[in-house]
Structure 1
Amino acid sequence: MWPNSSALGPCFRPMNITLQERQLIASPWFAASFCVLGLGSNLLALSVLAGAPSPRSSFLTLLCGLVLTDFLGLLVTGAIVVSQHAALFAWQAVDPGCRLCHFMGVAMVFFGLCPLLLGAAMASERYVGITRPFWRPSATWRRAWATVGLVWLVALALGLLPLLGLGHYTVQYPGSWCFLTLGARRGDVAFGLLFTLLGSVSVALSFLLNTVSVATLCRVYHDQEAARQRPRDCEVEMMVQLVGIMVVATVCWMPLLVFITQTLLWTPAIISPSEQLSRTTEHQLLIYLRVATWNQILDPWVYILFRRSVLRRLHPRLSSRLRALSLHPSPAQAEINGP
């Protein structure tokens, strides 16, 4: 049990938990299996992306940035969590200066926001590519990598705000990870709401742009003349993958973002003056965080499974449907219309 004393560093707050409870919750085998599964999934997706027909396309470049970010996020945060679960060390004894906690807090915010921001960037790229194809400059893969770098910079800048005085990172239940503080201080409330606002806006923007892009593709599908002028088989495939990534991000992250917002806005009823959360709130935060982490595992599988080659192998009967969805004219129509 962590005592409520002034001896604790700035990243520690009261937490009523015993060693026996930590042993029941903090399973090193579960954490290690989770990390291995995620790292293996992202490595597989990176290898598939490396062998893609057009690896330098802007969409695949952004997708590569997303998968690479997910891989690094699991590697960095997973190494800390697995080590803590395996050793069950007392955080205040190993990290009295809170440097490790601050590092993990920045990493959690950074690798949490990046997938949402990259999803919005990918939706914007597809929106421009489908609705405004002539706006796209040459060598877009370079601009795509610049976009990935900009997303990393924005997420890192937000993650560093608590180290500059806006909010602060604290060790979270059951004492194995650090994250933003669900506290009543103005800085904690402002930083938490800024985090949830940026994440929610990214999800909403992705939904809006993807909806317009899908509607445009459906309209072109019914316009056979436009379909003959510009085949869109690859665009349909990319939109299917992008919609899958959006659905995964929404399902995994929105519960956590909504929970953080509700907790910060209802602080008088949930958080004590000593910044000690109720046990129910601590359990819910841990559950929602674990659900959000699944985003890093499911993202690569969306790309791996939702490719035309895989779908045709799994469902041979879908080959003709995929050909129709590709918006190519049928051979009979090509003979009738002539060259």
Structure 2
Amino acid sequence: MCEGGSTLWFPKMELGNFSGASQLGSCFRRNNISNEIRGHITSPWFSTIFGLIGLCSNLFAFCVLVNSSRKMHSRSRSSFLVFLCGLVVTDFMGLLVTVCIVVPYHFIQFDWRVVDPGCHLCNFMGLAMVFFGQCPLLLGATMAGERFLGIYRPFSRSINMSKRRAWILVSLVWALGFFLGLLPILGLGDYSLQYPNSWCFLTLLHDAKNVAFSLIFALLGIFCVGLSFFLNTFSVVTLCRVYHDSESVQRRRDSEVEMMIQLLGIMVIASACWLPLLIFIVQTALQDFSSANQIPEATEKLLLIYLRVATWNQILDPWVYILFRRAVLQRIYPSIKTRPSIVSLYPVISSSLRRKFTQESVLQ
């Protein structure tokens, strides 16, 4: 998602003056934005540079993750890297798709009524905005759940979770995000052209279908952020509680801490970038406009501002993986040494059970 920083504007659409108005798709609606804002023009190069920085950051992060995955032999860390790779791919493709539409618009100022009278391009972009916006939140919640089980049920998880199963989970998240994006195309609400006519997104009009879809999108995102916060909080508290315990050794401590630091970074960035937009959508959907067919000018402007804030999630996410690695942290803080292990949450496990896992590890 990258509706960049540019606020270029072409003359307000007057559907009644357009010869093909009767054949225009549902994505076109009357805007009540004044033509006076045509004077507020920002260079289209801002959107271009903004998108390129995000694409390069995600591409670099993907290379770092692939290199780390090749050197990683720990199953727990390997499965976690699969989720990180899925998140990077999602962010990269989201930026690529939207940049390919938004940037050309800012440079050539094409008329959507001529280029896309049937709203096919607008529906595609709306689906992409919903899919690539919701999937990082869903993946964040999935990763939080994976780490929660990895800390609370270390033995069962290490046996059951593999790279293949991790990729299956990522694919299921993508499938859920795609299904959510299809809902307006299937009839639950509409995707519509948004101010300043350079991008398409869900419609905040007050009819039942658009309100329902807006609430589904926003509440699902808020639920994912809340679930991530809940699971990560418990995981961090548990990790701190056992960090200095002197009971018997079970697993590597430094890897657990590294994964939790990265996951907390992802959660903080997602919360700061997405919650303002999601809360705004809920508030707007529950408001009572004076006209059910028009969106107030202030609402149009705020939606664009919050969307730009949300876009920073895709720019900042990759730097969590790039910067918060053990190799980088140890250079910044040389006092950090690789710890031999972390204590299991279950120090009362019988010695026979411990011998069983030790023997299985030797046989493998």
Instruction: Please give the TM-score of this superposition, normalised by the length of structure 2.
Output: 0.84
The change in CA–CA distance for 1:144 and 1:23 in structure 2 (over 3 A counts) is: farther
Match of 1:311 in 2: 329
**1:48 to 2:70 alignment:** no
Cα shift readout 1:220-246 (whole Å, capped 9, x = no counterpart): 1131214x3333210110000000000
Match of 1:210 in 2: 232
Q: How does 1:176-325 map to 2 (within 5 A)?
A: 176-226=198-248, 228-269=249-290, 272-274=291-293, 276-316=294-334, 318-320=335-337, 323=338
Using the alignment, how far apart are the partners of 1:326 and 1:18 within structure 2?
A: 63
The Cα shift of 1:273 comes to 3.0
The Cα shift of 1:300 comes to 0.5
8 Å Cα contact 1:255-1:288 kept in structure 2? yes
Cα shift readout 1:279-306 (whole Å, capped 9, x = no counterpart): 2111110000000011011110011101
The Cα shift of 1:27 comes to 3.7
Matched residue type, 1:134? F
Using the alignment, how far apart are the partners of 1:219 and 1:125 within structure 2?
A: 19
What SS class does the counterpart of residue 70 from structure 1 fall into?
helix
Matched residue type, 2:207? R
What SS class does the counterpart of residue 229 from structure 1 fall into?
strand
8 Å Cα contact 1:65-1:148 kept in structure 2? yes
Within the candidate set 115, 126, 132, 1:105 is matched to 126
Match of 1:174 in 2: 196
The Cα shift of 1:21 comes to 3.7
8 Å Cα contact 1:236-1:326 kept in structure 2? no
Using the alignment, how far apart are the partners of 1:85 and 1:16 within structure 2?
A: 21
Cα shift readout 1:7-34 (whole Å, capped 9, x = no counterpart): 3431011124577845745642111111
Percent identity over the alignment is 60
Instruction: Please give the TM-score of this superposition, normalised by the length of structure 1.
Output: 0.90
Aligned positions, number: 321
Q: How does 1:4-43 map to 2 (within 5 A)?
A: 4-5=15-16, 7=22, 8-17=24-33, 21=37, 24-25=40-41, 27-43=43-59
The change in CA–CA distance for 1:180 and 1:325 in structure 2 (over 3 A counts) is: farther
The Cα shift of 1:91 comes to 1.1
Using the alignment, how far apart are the partners of 1:37 and 1:264 within structure 2?
A: 33
The change in CA–CA distance for 1:194 and 1:100 in structure 2 (over 3 A counts) is: same
Using the alignment, how far apart are the partners of 2:266 and 2:207 within structure 1?
A: 35
8 Å Cα contact 1:231-1:326 kept in structure 2? yes
8 Å Cα contact 1:236-1:325 kept in structure 2? no
Cα shift readout 1:228-269 (whole Å, capped 9, x = no counterpart): 333321011000000000000000000000000000100325
Using the alignment, how far apart are the partners of 1:326 and 1:85 within structure 2?
A: 54
Unaligned runs of at least 5 residues, structure 2: 1-11, 344-364
What SS class does the counterpart of residue 121 from structure 1 fall into?
helix
8 Å Cα contact 2:202-2:214 kept in structure 1? yes
8 Å Cα contact 1:46-1:68 kept in structure 2? yes
Matched residue type, 1:78? V
Using the alignment, how far apart are the partners of 2:121 and 2:63 within structure 1?
A: 32
Q: RMSD value over aligned CA atoms?
A: 2.0
What SS class does the counterpart of residue 247 from structure 2 fall into?
helix
Match of 2:101 in 1: 80
Within the candidate set 104, 107, 110, 1:89 is matched to 110
Q: How does 1:60-71 map to 2 (within 5 A)?
A: 60-71=81-92
Structure with more helix by fraction: 1
Which stretches of structure 1, 4 residues or longer, exceed 6 Å deviation after superposition?
none
8 Å Cα contact 2:32-2:296 kept in structure 1? no
Greater alpha carbon shift after TM alignment, 102-111 vs 212-221: 212-221
Using the alignment, how far apart are the partners of 2:118 and 2:329 within structure 1?
A: 52
8 Å Cα contact 2:207-2:292 kept in structure 1? no
Using the alignment, how far apart are the partners of 2:235 and 2:139 within structure 1?
A: 17
Matched residue type, 1:286? L
Match of 1:333 in 2: none
8 Å Cα contact 2:265-2:320 kept in structure 1? yes
Match of 2:9 in 1: none
